[in-house]
């Protein structure tokens, strides 16, 4: 709310989240960024009655170019489902204002210490580099040039793209005990909180890159990440967005969180996957063997497998998806309506998976014998 209200005071139109299942875009299975619903506006094929916008977008990254499925649970900050806060300019402001807004919101509104923020820019983007260095005054030792992999953002194999600049939060301490690492270390000391994309190009299916009709802005801040920073915890899973789901998973399995890393991974996977499943089922996706249904099936079965690893031997997943729906209902009242339906979908999949697994184990036992 703070994010959206801030950009409203700067004249941005508050726009509701688009659906998780993209409408009219065959290049994506699921919405993967706040800019998806504005893709045609960036490309100059659609016009809105506003030139700047702000949103909190439901995103799901478990397929396609942006796929965090295998990372979830193993890190403290990746999710399949997450909410992306963003501000957008469609041929209105560009790099300078986008950087000014980001710095102002972080340091004056969220009151993050400027010493705790590290900035990266694309190595060829001298303009962004000098805005940060000379206009904002970021010291040289907290401003880094990075390559394409880190600082050039594309929506998918095709579509809008451009160089970007990221803000990273420095927790000052590394969970792994590193003392002198820098922003590209993945030890957990640094967390990317905001990505400012300077949308300038469109990539077509032949790989040809052409300039967009006008330079534009697309930013994305992970709600779960800024929440961790503002709640003073180093893991998204320790925020109030996930903690009740972890606690319920502990109750169901009789396992304590924080005592064994392998079990913690499973507990985090249950928290993430149950929340994501509640949202995906709410949009009418059901488990199946292809496309979106297959992604959902993979998600549910992965959660079920981790539940088994934790020793849960009775049906459990629907109690977690129901809890996730209740936790998110203030912002997404539609989850209340689909809560019981979602529980039935999950229970049916659980039953099917258990019988597949029992049959498979029997076959395996026979072969091994």
Q: Which residues bind ligand SER (CB under 6 A)?
A: 33-35, 86, 153, 195, 197, 218-220
Nearer Cβ to ligand SER (14/178):
14
Distance between CA atoms of residues 338 and 106, nearest Å? 36
Nearer Cβ to ligand SER (56/219):
219
We find the least distance from the C-beta atom of residue 197 to ligand SER, in angstroms, to be 5
Nearer Cβ to ligand SER (33/53):
33
* CA separation, residue 98 to residues 121, 132, 137, 161 (Å): 13, 11, 15, 16
Residue 273's Cβ-count burial label (10 Å; 0-12, 13-18, 19+) is buried
Is the CB of residue 118 less than 8 Å from the CB of residue 229? no
* CA separation, residue 327 to residues 77, 228, 324 (Å): 19, 17, 5
We find the least distance from the C-beta atom of residue 64 to ligand SER, in angstroms, to be 12
We find the least distance from the C-beta atom of residue 138 to ligand SER, in angstroms, to be 20
We find the least distance from the C-beta atom of residue 150 to ligand SER, in angstroms, to be 11
Among all chains, which residue has been given the structure tokens 């089922």? 281
We find the least distance from the C-beta atom of residue 222 to ligand SER, in angstroms, to be 9
Nearer Cβ to ligand SER (10/308):
10
Nearer Cβ to ligand SER (132/198):
198
> In 3D, which of 356, 346, 313, 280 has the Cα closest to residue 62?
280
Give the residue at shortest CB distance from ligand SER: 220
Nearer Cβ to ligand SER (61/301):
61
Nearer Cβ to ligand SER (73/86):
86
We find the least distance from the C-beta atom of residue 38 to ligand SER, in angstroms, to be 10
Burial 11-22 (b: 16+ CB within 10 A, else e): ebeebebbbbbb
Length of the chain: 369
> In 3D, which of 224, 220, 249 has the Cα closest to residue 239?
224
We find the least distance from the C-beta atom of residue 15 to ligand SER, in angstroms, to be 14
On the CB side of 213, CA atoms within 13 Å amount to 13
Distance between CA atoms of residues 227 and 233, nearest Å? 9
- Is the torsion defined by CA of 254, 256, 257, 262 positive or negative? negative
Among all chains, which residue has been given the structure tokens 């992306």? 84
DSSP 127: H
Distance between CA atoms of residues 248 and 316, nearest Å? 10
Nearer Cβ to ligand SER (76/219):
219
Nearer Cβ to ligand SER (86/163):
86
We find the least distance from the C-beta atom of residue 51 to ligand SER, in angstroms, to be 18
We find the least distance from the C-beta atom of residue 33 to ligand SER, in angstroms, to be 4
> In 3D, which of 74, 130, 72, 65 has the Cα closest to residue 99?
130
Is the CB of residue 155 less than 8 Å from the CB of residue 195? no
């Amino acid at each position: 709310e703070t994010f959206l209200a801030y950009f409203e005071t700067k004249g941005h139109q508050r726009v509701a989240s688009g659906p998780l299942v993209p409408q009219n875009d065959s290049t994506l299975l699921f919405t993967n960024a706040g800019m998806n619903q504005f893709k045609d506006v960036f490309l100059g094929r659609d016009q809105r009655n506003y030139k700047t916008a702000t949103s909190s977008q439901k995103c799901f990254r478990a397929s396609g170019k942006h796929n965090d499925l295998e990372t979830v649970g193993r890190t403290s900050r990746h999710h399949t489902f997450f909410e992306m806060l963003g501000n957008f300019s469609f041929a209105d402001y560009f790099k300078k204002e986008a950087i000014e807004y980001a710095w102002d919101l972080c340091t004056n509104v969220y009151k993050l210490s400027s010493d705790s923020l590290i900035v990266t820019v694309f190595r060829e983007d001298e303009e962004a580099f000098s805005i940060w260095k000379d206009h904002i005054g970021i010291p040289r030792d907290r401003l880094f040039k990075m390559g394409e992999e880190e600082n050039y953002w594309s929506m998918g194999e095709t579509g809008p793209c451009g160089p970007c600049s990221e803000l990273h939060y420095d927790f000052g301490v590394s969970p792994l005990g590193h003392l002198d690492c820098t922003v590209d270390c993945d030890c957990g000391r640094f967390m990317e909180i905001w990505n400012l994309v300077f949308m300038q190009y469109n990539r077509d299916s032949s790989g040809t890159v052409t300039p967009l009709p006008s330079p534009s802005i697309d930013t994305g801040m992970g709600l779960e990440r800024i929440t961790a920073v503002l709640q003073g915890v180093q893991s998204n899973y320790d925020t109030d967005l996930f903690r009740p789901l972890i606690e319920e998973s502990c109750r169901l399995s009789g396992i304590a969180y924080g005592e064994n890393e392998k079990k913690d991974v499973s507990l985090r996977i249950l928290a993430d996957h149950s929340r994501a499943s509640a949202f995906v089922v709410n949009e009418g996706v059901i488990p199946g063997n292809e496309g979106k249904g297959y992604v959902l099936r993979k998600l549910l079965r992965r959660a079920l497998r981790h539940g088994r690893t934790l020793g849960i031997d009775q049906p459990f997943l629907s109690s977690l998806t129901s809890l996730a729906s209740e936790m998110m209902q203030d912002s997404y009242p539609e989850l209340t309506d689909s809560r019981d339906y979602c529980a039935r979908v999950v229970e049916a999949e659980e039953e099917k998976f258990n019988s597949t697994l029992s049959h498979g184990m029997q076959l395996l036992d026979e072969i091994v014998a």
